[in-house]
Structure 1
Amino acid sequence: MFLFVTRYLGFLKSVPTLGWAFDGWLKLWVLIKKPEILDWMDEIEAEVLKWENTTSVIHKYGGMQFNYRDKEIGHIHSNGLLDMLLSRSVKQSLMQVGRVEHHHSFINTGWISFYMHNADDKEYALKLLRMGYERLVVKSGVRSSDSLPTFKSI
């Protein structure tokens, strides 16, 4: 259903707060059908906020957005869909492994989508977010005191 709405009704995202309302409906649906996804989202948020200079905010279309120094690391919609920007080469490498997909709207970019279905997926989502965090740390020129994994560790 999420893909149907984003593909055929995506033009509605320009209506103020409609994205948040849709995401609220998704959250209610997930609460009924697969409540553990909401627990995983809370666990991911708690972990990401331990990393230096990170914050979380409500994403402009709903869900939870993680930032490093006001730059988006990625965001998780209330249905457990992680969207984030990586380089195109890293995206292609991850897609060859087969765990991530093209972003549901930005196909020919470095944006990826990853659905969480189980606890292992939650851990993989954390690794992806950590990779995005590292990309932004390196881009900013600020050195993090945290030991960060590389792409090869995923």
Structure 2
Amino acid sequence: MSGSSRAEIESTVEDLIEDVGSWPGVTTGEHRFGGTEWRVGPREIGHVHAWGMLDVAYLRALRDVLIEEDQTGVHHLLNDSGWTTLYIEEPGDYDHARWLVRLSYLYHVNILKKTPAGAEEFAAVDVESELEALNPTESVRAAFERRRPGKAGEPEK
């Protein structure tokens, strides 16, 4: 662990909770194993514990690419799932933690927008431009879009 104090980490976590909770369609609540979870509709996109453990939900293929690129780690318990774990160890980890949760948010919003209720609820969320702003690698983008890298517009098999 870095030289950051527990109070600094807790403050960073609180800032993240507040930020993510302000995104369109996100609800926050108590997570069943402690901490605070974020949901988009019925989907949990992630949760964070006060001591800095951040768990984020992805499609398995996207999770695998993020781990391969060392963006995050295998979930601390569910290592064969789409879940990942990142430890926020200092305030400087905030931006990357937010990036990971935002990627999950955009992925889940993109899926929900394919339903009539989701299309209406998330009409103001421009997934493509927001994904572009995250500046993902081609491999992350391909997994997000469910296609093979380098084959734009072709679904992943």
TM-score by length of 1: 0.71
Identity of aligned residues (%): 24
Counterpart amino acid of residue 145 in structure 1:
A
- For the pair 1:101 / 2:101, whether they are aligned, the reply is no
Give the conservation status (yes or no) of the 8 Å contact 2:13–2:49: no
**Runs of 5+ consecutive residues of structure 2 not aligned to the other structure:** 114-118, 137-157
Give the conservation status (yes or no) of the 8 Å contact 1:57–1:65: yes
In the alignment of these two chains, the number of paired residues is 123
The Cα shift of 1:45 comes to: 1.5
Q: Which residue pairs with 1:145 in the alignment?
A: 124
- After superposing on structure 2, the runs of 4+ consecutive aligned residues of structure 1 that deviate more than 6 Å are none
TM-score by length of 2: 0.70
User: Structure 1 residues 50, 134: closer, same or farther in 2, change over 3 A?
Assistant: same
**Runs of 5+ consecutive residues of structure 1 not aligned to the other structure:** 1-32
Q: Please report the RMSD computed on the Cα atoms of aligned residues, expressed in angstroms.
A: 2.1
The Cα shift of 1:149 comes to: 2.6
User: Whole-Å Cα distance in 2 between the matches of residues 74 and 34 of structure 1?
Assistant: 21
User: Whole-Å Cα distance in 2 between the matches of residues 92 and 83 of structure 1?
Assistant: 14
Q: Which residue pairs with 1:5 in the alignment?
A: none
User: Whole-Å Cα distance in 1 between the matches of residues 125 and 38 of structure 2?
Assistant: 17
- For the pair 1:117 / 2:99, whether they are aligned, the reply is no
More helix by share: 1
Give the conservation status (yes or no) of the 8 Å contact 1:52–1:144: no
- For the pair 1:50 / 2:22, whether they are aligned, the reply is yes
Q: Which residue pairs with 1:36 in the alignment?
A: 8
User: Structure 1 residues 119, 144: closer, same or farther in 2, change over 3 A?
Assistant: farther
Q: Which of these residues, 38, 51, 56, is aligned with residue 66 of structure 1?
A: 38
